[in-house]
Amino acid sequence: MTNARIDRDYTFFLPRFSEAGALLRLLVVTNLLALFSALVPMTAAQNFSWEQYFVYVFFMNWVALSFAIIADKLRSRLIRMPRIRAAAVCAVIVSSIVVLYTFIVNQLLIYLHLMDADPALMWRRMGHNLLLTMIAGGVLLHYLYMRERLVVRERAELSARLDTLQARIRPHFLFNSMNTVLSLIDIDSRRAGVVVEDLSALFRASLQSAGEVSLYDEVVLCRRYLAIETVRLGDRLQVEWQTPDEETLRRIKIPSLTLQPLLENAVVHGVEPGSRPSLITVLIEWSANEVKIVVNNPIQPTQKVLPERAATGNQMALKNIHDRLQAQYGMTARLSTHRAQDLFTAYLSYPFNQTPS
């Protein structure tokens, strides 16, 4: 399934009625419509009829459920249609269901001897049901169409916001990487040349990435960055990875340059200030609906005196990552940090939406 296909499915004005929330909202609207239909014929001389109300509830819920099943079955075709044609098809489906169920209910009542056979009465009921359905259906379809327009606009604004936040990350990342190369030139020019080659590949990967990338590509990007830093820091930088298999990493998506700034902070604030070997651990776990990433780095003794300095250094990168996660996934995404006596932990989690290929 391509990204364009996913976006069309996400923004389509008809929700997926196979989802419990969408079906529940449909049934709530249907039952409110049934109540409205029962109240319409009331006059000063006619009291509210519970019997009539339950008939409307039974009838309209069956219409709503039938439409939900048919709409989900035809969803892939409706998405490809122009919106006006798709709305017209939905109106025809609902009308056909109403006509069919009105006829079935009428024949059932006659069979049970609860009503006399009267074709004129049946046609009046059919017309009455169609009129109410078309009025309510027209209002509902218009609301859904306007909701789709709003979602499309929000997606466009989200894309622009993500691009802005991404632009804040890349210059910071490139600037620090170039500093790494510059620091190596005076120490070992041959190694600096090797690092430049690695860095060019790293830049190429980062600049080509936009929006979401596979977690596998993000991990490869991080490993390249750490390889460059290892040339500069030597044995002082040690990294331990705990990740799922490659196939799983390729299926999981993540906003590009999300994990790399976390590792950069871990190197700059957890390894570079010290003189002894320091271990950074990266744990990546996933479940059916969530991805969790935990990055641990040691707190050097020099940092314990002025802990606010490290916090200030982390602030920009962590804020940008947090903002991008919130923009991409909403409030379900989280980025939190914890500072213990000798360990700094960054905890990141966001929804896992697997998309079939």
Q: Measuring CA to CA, which residue among 209, 201, 196, 331 is closest to residue 258?
A: 209
Residue 355: is its pLDDT beyond 90? no
**Mean pLDDT, residues 5-33:** 68
**Mean pLDDT, residues 196-223:** 76
**What confidence score (pLDDT) does residue 209 get?**
52
What are 219-246's pLDDT values in tens digits? 988 888 888 888 778 889 999 999 999 9
CATH of 187-351, one of 3.40.640.10, 3.30.470.20, 3.30.565.10, 2.40.30.10: 3.30.565.10
3-state class (DSSP) for residue 59: helix
What are 101-155's pLDDT values in tens digits? 888 877 887 777 766 777 887 788 778 777 777 777 777 777 777 777 776 776 6
**What confidence score (pLDDT) does residue 244 get?**
92
Exposure class string for 281-293: b at 16+ Cβ within 10 A, else e: bbebebeeeebeb
| Tokens (6 digits) for 54 | 């339950």
- Band (pLDDT 50/70/90 cuts) for residue 48 is low
| Tokens (6 digits) for 164 | 């802005």
Q: Measuring CA to CA, which residue among 74, 94, 195, 185 is closest to residue 135?
A: 94
CA–CA distance, 44 with 29 (Å, rounded to integer): 27
3-state class (DSSP) for residue 15: coil
**Mean pLDDT, residues 14-25:** 72
CA–CA distance, 74 with 66 (Å, rounded to integer): 12
Nearest 10 degrees: CA dihedral of 178, 183, 184, 186?
Answer: 130
- Band (pLDDT 50/70/90 cuts) for residue 170 is low
23 neighbors 67 (Cβ within 8 angstroms): no
Residue 72: is its pLDDT beyond 50? yes
**What confidence score (pLDDT) does residue 283 get?**
96
Percentage of residues in the chain having pLDDT higher than 90: 12
Residue limits of CATH 3.30.565.10 in the chain: 187-351
**What confidence score (pLDDT) does residue 282 get?**
96
CA–CA distance, 281 with 259 (Å, rounded to integer): 12
What are 271-326's pLDDT values in tens digits? 888 888 999 999 999 887 889 999 999 987 765 444 444 444 456 667 778 877 87
- Band (pLDDT 50/70/90 cuts) for residue 216 is very high
The pTM score is: 0.55
CA–CA distance, 60 with 70 (Å, rounded to integer): 15
- Band (pLDDT 50/70/90 cuts) for residue 171 is low
161 neighbors 24 (Cβ within 8 angstroms): no
Phi first, then psi, for residue 276 (nearest 5°) are -105, 165
- Band (pLDDT 50/70/90 cuts) for residue 78 is confident
CA–CA distance, 271 with 233 (Å, rounded to integer): 8
Average pLDDT, the chain: 76
Residue 258: is its pLDDT beyond 50? yes
**Identity (one letter) of the amino acid at 125?**
R
Contacts of 228 (CB under 8 A, 6+ apart): 177, 180, 181, 195, 198, 199, 202
CA–CA distance, 51 with 155 (Å, rounded to integer): 46
What are 94-114's pLDDT values in tens digits? 888 888 888 887 788 777 776
Q: How many residues does the chain have?
A: 357
